[in-house]
A and B are shown apart, each in its own frame.
Chain A
């Protein structure tokens, strides 16, 4: 079973800063099945990135994804107040979805 490890667990930042979140897979995975989500309390989770680097519908271009094989990242340039949330990477393999443990962005 593939394990996704996200780092860091928590980041304290300020609006306007740039941040890169890491997601490392325990073995090489297909980029086609690597996605990133944003979670905020009381809201529906939001798909940000799919296929490792493709922005989902209506996602601002300050969000970008990159990576391949075992190392993937989500970059947010110019943090906005609404970006402070928890971010999860996710992969699909052998009939199962797997999530990382999440990275919390806090002010």
Chain B
């Protein structure tokens, strides 16, 4: 059974760096093709894809946010970490991690998300 769970701070201050962790089970980065993405959902707005890391440690970023994002993985812990620098109130959103089986494939399993509020 594939599961993903996001964790991180519920509240961050403007200009701070956000660090989110995705713990997953039921699949492994040792399987060729496996990928984990981060997606966010600001309240009242659309889903926005942020970043992806694949089994081979290749990384892909949203064009508009790439200067602020870093994605990494710890294969031994079955974890993916996303950092986003210089947080702003407009970054307030529910942040999700999701799996795909190849780059570009559909996001077939998602976590329940973690709400991050940016406020002083």
Contacts and interface: CB of A to CB of B under 8 A. Distances in A.
Interface of A: 1, 33, 35, 37, 39, 42-47, 50-51, 56-57, 88, 90, 92, 95-102
A72 to B, nearest CB: 13
A80 B94 CA distance: 26
Interface residues of B, number: 26
Interface string B92-117: 00001010000111111111110000
Contacts of A42: 112
B80 to A, nearest CB: 16
B49 A44 contact: no
B110 A46 contact: yes
Contacts of B98: 45
Nearest to B5: A44
A56 B107 contact: no
Contacts of B57: none
Contacts of B47: 37, 39, 45, 88, 90, 99, 102
B118 to A, nearest CB: 20
A67 B4 CA distance: 31
Given A44-B110, A44-B112, A44-B113, A98 B104 contact: no
B49 A56 contact: no
Nearest to B41: A39
A43 B112 contact: yes
Given A50-B108, A92-B104, A96-B62, 19 more contacts: A1-B63, A35-B107, A37-B47, A39-B47, A43-B112, A44-B109, A44-B113, A45-B96, A45-B110, A50-B105, A56-B106, A57-B108, A88-B47, A90-B47, A92-B103, A95-B103, A97-B37, A98-B49, A99-B39
